[in-house]
């Protein structure tokens, strides 16, 4: 068998400098985050010639693009490339002896208006996707939006950079967000956690491993109190995953019952995802990608399906290449809305079972969120309608030229749906 090899392709300001830089590389790392933080890349370089702190020193605005290249990796002919993406160089350090230069990059665009300038702005009559689209356009980068869009009547951006405001906005609506290859990428993390595992990782294939497992930090449910300014009422929404007394209590700004519901569940998931986590060091492989699910085996009661939050790819000066995976146990959200209490004693109950099996024909302006609010009492239950009609919704979307409906985002007037119980 031919020798296997791991190498790094480097493009500097869009020019391929791989042949020039390879002999200088003493270490390479790439951190791939699923959400919440920008990806990073670091090149550790031999600087005994003094070039990296002299004529070759990077200047403000320089960029680097890196690609991990595997040759004959698991078997002869197993050749792969993994595009780490585009990075703005933002960090330089030098040390010695021996003389070493470290060049760090971050996956944010070359646009101080996006990641440096703090802004105060009121967003009105828009949506999550609408805000992200505006921010992306201002930063001159692309937007890939996958998942349910949520209407926003009014939202304050107060003395905050666009990039951090966008991260917080997505987090509030349980949308993952990352910056990759000059794009804002968003998706519904809960839906990704429902996907089957992409691969199985066994204990014997890990060089090292550790788990955190909390018996007391897991919340049984969540309650949120908020004020509906239009109705001048204080409302309370409560959702229980299971019977219990450990309730996460929130006091958040929300525009409506549906808005409160999605924000409450998002916070509940954010907390509970930290209750069982794994950290695993394994032989390097390009199949390890953040936001994928994997199945862990051989760890006893810690076995299960895990969602990968972060992958750190590391390569030394030789052929050594390994990955460190940070992941959490996938959480399936199945629970009960206990009560939605308006000020006083008014209780708004979920839609009755009499709606089950009812037929509804989509009209112009409809969304699954609106239909779910009308028939099921909550827009956040829109996936129940999608799952009950996925065949019809997907075939209709394809007949209109879409590759998919994006989990019901693309629906069309005239389509008849069955309302589930």
Q: Which is the CATH superfamily of the domain at 5-106?
A: Baseplate protein-like domain - beta roll fold (2.30.300.10)
Please state, in angstroms and rounded to a whole number, the distance separating the CA atoms of residues 313 and 32.
Answer: 8
> Between residues 229 and 215, which one has the greater pLDDT?
215
Asked whether the predicted pLDDT for residue 267 surpasses 50, the reply is yes
Tokens of 283: 């032989």
Name the H helices within 213-299: 257-272
Kindly tell me the burial class for residue 215, based on how many C-beta atoms sit within 10 Å of its own C-beta (0-12, 13-18, 19 or more). Answer: exposed
The residue extents of the domains of the chain are 5-106, 112-191, 203-329, 353-418
Tokens of 368: 């699954």
Please state, in angstroms and rounded to a whole number, the distance separating the CA atoms of residues 126 and 310.
Answer: 32
Q: Which residues pair with 360 in a beta bridge?
A: 417
Radius of gyration of the chain (CA): 24
Please provide the DSSP assignment of 335-400 as one string.
-EEEEEEPSSS-B-PPPPGGGTT-EEE--TT--HHHHHHHHHS-GGGHHHHHHHHHHHHHHHHHHT
List C-alpha distances in Å: 276 to 307, 308, 330.
11, 12, 9
Contacts of 157 (CB under 8 A, 6+ apart): 119, 120, 121, 122, 123, 165
Per-residue pLDDT at 3: 83
Tens digit of each residue's pLDDT (9 = 90 or more) over 125-143: 899 999 999 999 998 889 9
The whole-model pTM stands at 0.74
Per-residue pLDDT at 343: 41
Let me know the angle formed at the C-alpha of 157 by 132 and 147, rounded to the nearest 5 degrees: 30
Asked whether the predicted pLDDT for residue 345 surpasses 50, the reply is no
> Between residues 174 and 346, which one has the greater pLDDT?
174
List C-alpha distances in Å: 171 to 83, 222, 360.
26, 16, 32
Asked whether the predicted pLDDT for residue 159 surpasses 90, the reply is no
Per-residue pLDDT at 146: 86
Per-residue pLDDT at 277: 93
Asked whether the predicted pLDDT for residue 155 surpasses 80, the reply is yes
Please state, in angstroms and rounded to a whole number, the distance separating the CA atoms of residues 81 and 8.
Answer: 9
Per-residue pLDDT at 367: 84
Asked whether this chain's domains 5-106 and 353-418 adopt the same fold, the reply is no
Closest CA to 12 of 20, 3, 4: 20
Please state which of the four CATH numbers 3.30.450, 2.60.40, 1.10.3720, 3.10.350 is assigned to the domain occupying 353-418: 3.10.350
CB 221 within 8 A of CB 338: yes
Tokens of 336: 């009960």
Q: What is the mean pLDDT of residues 303-332?
A: 91
> CATH 3.55.50.10: does it fit domain 112-191?
yes
Tens digit of each residue's pLDDT (9 = 90 or more) over 72-111: 888 888 899 999 999 999 889 999 899 999 999 998 876 6
Tell me if residue 163 falls in helix, strand or coil.
Answer: helix
Q: In which residue are the tokens 């699954």 written? A: 368
Per-residue pLDDT at 20: 92
Asked whether the predicted pLDDT for residue 402 surpasses 50, the reply is yes
Per-residue pLDDT at 230: 62
Would you place residue 369 in the very low, low, confident or very high pLDDT band (cuts 50, 70, 90)?
confident
* Window from 13-27, 144-158, 311-325 with minimum mean pLDDT: 144-158
Per-residue pLDDT at 352: 37
Per-residue pLDDT at 350: 36
Percent of the chain's residues with pLDDT above 70? 90
Per-residue pLDDT at 129: 93
Q: What is the mean pLDDT of residues 175-179?
A: 91
User: In this structure, how many other beta carbons lie within 10 angstroms of the beta carbon of residue 411?
Assistant: 21
191 φ/ψ sector (left φ>0, alpha ψ -120 to 50, else beta): alpha
CB 274 within 8 A of CB 328: yes
């Amino acid at each position: 068998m031919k020798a296997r090899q791991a190498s790094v392709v480097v493009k500097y300001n869009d020019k391929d400098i791989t042949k020039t830089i390879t002999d200088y590389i003493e270490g390479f790392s790439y951190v791939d985050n699923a959400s919440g933080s920008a990806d990073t890349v670091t090149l550790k370089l031999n600087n005994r010639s003094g070039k990296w702190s002299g004529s070759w020193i990077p200047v403000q605005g320089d960029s680097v693009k890196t690609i991990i290249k595997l040759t004959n990796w698991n078997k002869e002919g197993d050749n792969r490339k993994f595009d780490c993406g585009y990075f703005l160089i933002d960090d330089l350090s030098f040390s010695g002896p021996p003389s070493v230069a470290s060049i760090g990059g971050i996956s944010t665009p070359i646009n101080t208006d996006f990641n440096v300038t703090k802004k105060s702005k009121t967003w009105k009559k828009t949506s999550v996707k609408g805000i992200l689209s505006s921010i992306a356009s201002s930063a001159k980068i692309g937007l890939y939006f996958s998942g349910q869009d949520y209407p926003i009547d009014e939202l304050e951006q107060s003395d905050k950079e666009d990039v951090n405001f966008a991260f917080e906005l997505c987090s509030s609506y349980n949308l993952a967000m990352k910056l990759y290859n000059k794009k804002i990428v968003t998706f519904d993390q809960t839906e990704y956690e429902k996907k089957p595992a992409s691969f199985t990782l066994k204990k014997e294939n890990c060089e090292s491993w550790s788990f955190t497992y909390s018996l007391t930090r897991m919340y049984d449910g969540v309650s949120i109190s908020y004020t509906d300014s239009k109705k001048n009422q204080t409302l309370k929404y409560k959702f229980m995953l299971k019977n219990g007394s450990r309730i996460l209590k929130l006091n958040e700004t929300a525009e409506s019952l549906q808005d409160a519901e999605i924000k409450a569940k998002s916070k509940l998931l954010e907390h509970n995802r930290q209750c069982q986590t794994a950290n695993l060091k394994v032989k390097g492989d390009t199949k390890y990608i953040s936001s994928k699910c994997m199945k862990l085996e051989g760890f006893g009661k810690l076995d299960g399906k895990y969602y990968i939050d972060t992958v750190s790819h590391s390569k030394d000066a030789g052929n050594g290449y390994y990955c460190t995976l940070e992941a959490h146990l996938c959480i399936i959200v199945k629970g009960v809305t206990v009560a939605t209490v308006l000020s006083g004693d008014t209780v708004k109950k979920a839609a009755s079972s009499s709606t089950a099996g009812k037929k509804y024909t989509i009209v112009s302006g409809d969304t699954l969120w609106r239909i779910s609010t009308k028939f099921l009492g909550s827009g956040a239950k829109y996936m129940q309608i999608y799952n009950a009609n996925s065949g019809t919704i997907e075939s209709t979307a394809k007949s209109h030229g879409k590759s998919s409906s994006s989990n019901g985002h693309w629906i069309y007037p005239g389509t008849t749906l069955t309302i589930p119980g």
